[in-house]
Amino acid sequence: MKKIIETVPNFSEGRDRNNIERIILPFKGHDNVKLLDVHTDADHNRMVVTAVGEPEALKHAVIEAVGVAVKVIDMPAHRGEHPRMGAVDVVPLIPIKNATMEEAITLSKEVAREIWETYHLPVFLYEESASTPIRKNLADIRKGQFEGMPEKLKSSEWKPDFGEREIHPTAGVVAVGARMPLIAFNVNLDTNNLEIARAIAKTVRYSSGGLKYCKAIGIALKERNITQVSMNMTDYTQTPLHQALELVRTEAKRYGVNVVGSEIVGLVPMAALVDSAAYYMGFEDFNIEKVLEAKMME
Amino acid sequence: MKKIIETVPNFSEGRDRNNIERIILPFKGHDNVKLLDVHTDADHNRMVVTAVGEPEALKHAVIEAVGVAVKVIDMPAHRGEHPRMGAVDVVPLIPIKNATMEEAITLSKEVAREIWETYHLPVFLYEESASTPIRKNLADIRKGQFEGMPEKLKSSEWKPDFGEREIHPTAGVVAVGARMPLIAFNVNLDTNNLEIARAIAKTVRYSSGGLKYCKAIGIALKERNITQVSMNMTDYTQTPLHQALELVRTEAKRYGVNVVGSEIVGLVPMAALVDSAAYYMGFEDFNIEKVLEAKMME
C-alpha cells in the first residue's frame, strides 16, 4: 500500500511564463510524483501548484521547486495583490492515503531543514508542525509581509524554526507544515442582504461558537445579486460538509432565506463527497472500501 | 491516460479451497491487473471475482483463469443452489476509465474467440455484445442450465456465437459480454407488509413503466421485521441512484410508509456517489475532475 502525500505550495510568481514553467518542472520530472493542477493569477502575481506523490519522491520535487523559485523570483521587485512573505509563501504537506498526520509532520520538518540548509531560506513551521501555538496560523506568520519580515524576525517570538533572524535577501521567508486537506465550500443564498450572509457565517464558524473545523465569511455575489457563505472546511473527517450545509440551511430559515446552490472551489477528496452521499442516501454500514476506485488505489 | 476495464467473472466453484486459489491466481500474476475482491459461496457452489486492469493485460488474465476453471471444474458433478450453465458462468467486461463501451465490446469478442479457440468452450455473446436481442439478457441464455444446454444448442436460435452446437463435456458453455457497471442498491422501508414493498418495486422498475436502468423486486427482511426494495441499477450514468431513492421515498408516502435506510451491495463506482452527493448538496457546475482521486488516476 503506497503512502500518498499531497502538497499545495504557493509561489510568488503568476506572470512570467518562463519562470512558471521552470518552477513546476520538478513536479513533472520525478517518478512517483504527479502534478495535478497549476493555478496562476497575474493580479495576485502568485501561483498555486497541486501535486501528489510518495513521500520521498514528493519531498525531493518540492525542495527542487523551492530552489528554482528562490533563484528566479526577486521579492524586492515583487508586486501583487495577495499578501506574501517570500518567493515561496507556504508549503503545506497533506496526508492523503496510507499516511498519518505524524508522518506528514516528520516529512515537513525534513523539507524545512533541507530548504534552510540548501538555500539559506529561513523557515517557519506552521499548522500541525508548529513549534508554538502562535505559529499555527499562516496569517499570523505572514503578518507584516515580505517588507516587514526583517524587523519581525528580530522580535523575541519570531526567530525562524530553521535559520537565523535574517531574511533571504531576494526570497524572504517561507512557512512549511503539515495540515489536513482543506476544502473550499461555498453555499449560495437567495438574498442580496450581506448582513444575513455574515450573520449565518458567524453562526457556523468555529471562532464564534460554530462548527469546530469550519471557517466562514459572508460575501456578496454582485453579478447574481445574491450572497454567499464562503467556508473553509479544515478537517472534513471531523466536521463533514453536509453538517455545514445543513447548519447554513437551518440558520437561513431564521431570516426567511433559502439555500439556492453550492460549490466546491479547487479539489476535494473523494472521501468527503462519499461521506456526504452516504449521509443523504441513508446508507447503513457503508465504508469507503465499497468504492471501486478506493479499492483500485489500495 | 491508462484505459481501465473491470471484469466480474462467475465461476462454478465455491467450495474447494485449492481450486479457488488456482482459478484466481492469474489475476494476481499479471502486471497492470489488480484483483479487487473474491466472493465465494459454498451453498451456491459459486465464486464471483472482481478485477480491474488495462485491457490487454486483463484479457490475458481472464482467459488464463477461464482455462484453469475449464480444467478443474467438472460440471456433470456440480451441485449448488445458484443457476449455472458452465464452469465459467459469465464473463462481463465493464469500461471503467478512459475506455468506451465500444472498446469493451471489441475486447469481449477477442476474449470470446480465444476462449473457444483455446479451450473449445462454446461462447454466447450477451448484453452490449449480443448478436441478437434475445441474447442480451443472461437469464435467457442460461435458461435450461448446464443440464439443458445440449438440447438447447440444437434449437434454431441457440447456436453459440463462437463454437458448434455442442457443449464442452465438463465445462458446458459460457456467456461473455460488455456491460455498464451494475450497482446493487437496496432501500429499506418501515413496514413488514411485503405487498407494499412489491408495489413500490413495480413502480420504480423499467419493466413495469418505471426508471429505464432500474430492475427492482420487493423482499422481506424477516429478522428486522421490515421490507426492502432491492434494486439493480444497470446504468447509473443514465438513471442515477438518487433518482431511484427519491422515487421509492415518494411512492412510499402513498402507503404511509417511510424509507429508513439503504445499502450498497458489493462495489460502487466513485462517480455514482459523487453524482448523488452533488445532487443532494446542490453543487453548481460540479464535475468529477474536482475530485482529488479522479485527478490522481488520470
Q: What is the length of chain B?
A: 298
Domain boundary among B148, B178, B208: B178
pLDDT band at A45 (very low <50, low <70, confident <90, very high): very high
| Active site annotation includes B39 | no
Are B58 and B169 in the same domain?
yes
The beta-carbon neighbor of B273 closest among A34, A269, A277 is A277
Q: What DSSP designation does B82 have?
A: S
Catalytic member of A39, A82, A120, A242 = A82
- Indicate whether A267 and A188 sit together in one domain: yes
Domain interval for residue B83: 4-178
Specify the CATH number for the domain of residue B60: 3.30.990.10
| A96 and A226 fall within a common domain | no
Asked whether the beta carbons of A171 and A177 are under 8 A apart, the reply is no
> A111, A263, A237: which is closest to A180 by C-alpha?
A237
Same domain assignment for residues A173 and A190: no
Residue A154 and residue A48 share a domain: yes
Number of domains in chain B: 2
What pLDDT does residue B297 have?
Answer: 81
Mean pLDDT of A286-297: 90
Domain identity same for A9 and A139: yes
pLDDT band for B130, please (50, 70, 90 cuts): very high
Rounded Cα–Cα distance for residues A290 and B5 (Å):
18
Candidate from A190-199, B78-87, B165-174 with smallest mean pLDDT:
B78-87
Q: Indicate if B270 and B137 belong to the same structural domain.
A: no
Task: For residues B143 and B134, give the distance between their C-alpha atoms in angstroms, rounded to a whole number.
Answer: 12
A54 and A192 in a single domain? The answer is no
Residues B233 and B288 in one domain: yes
CB spacing of B267 vs A6 below 8 angstroms: no
Q: Residue A298: pLDDT above 80?
A: no
Among B123, B151, B178, give the residue marking a domain's end. Answer: B178
Which residues in A lie closer than 8 A to residue B282 (C-beta atoms)?
259-262
What mean pLDDT is predicted for residues A140-151?
96
B138 in the same domain as B36: yes
Q: Shortest Cα distance from A298 to chain B (angstroms)?
A: 9
Cell digits of residue B233: 441499477
Please indicate whether, in this complex, the C-beta atoms of A292 and B37 are within 8 angstroms of each other.
no
**CB-CB under 8 Å, A262 with B292:** no
Average pLDDT over residues B176-185: 96
End-to-end CA distance of chain A: 6
Q: Is B241 in Cβ contact with A264 (below 8 Å)?
A: no
pLDDT over threshold 90, residue A29: no
For B28-48, how does the pLDDT look when each residue is reduced to its tens digit (9 = 90+)?
A: 977 899 999 999 999 889 999
What's the residue count for chain A?
Answer: 298
Average pLDDT over all residues of chain A: 95
Decide which of A121, A149, A178 is a domain's last residue: A178
Supply the pLDDT for residue B296. Answer: 87
DSSP annotation of B182 reads -
Chain B neighbors of A37, CB-CB under 8 A: 295
Per-residue model confidence as pLDDT tens digits over B51-98: 999 999 999 999 999 999 999 999 999 998 888 999 999 999 999 999
Q: Do residue A189 and residue A90 come from a single domain? A: no
Q: What is the pTM of this model?
A: 0.87
CATH number at residue B239: 3.30.70.670
pLDDT tier at B5, thresholds 50, 70, 90: very high
Same domain? B238 vs B173: no
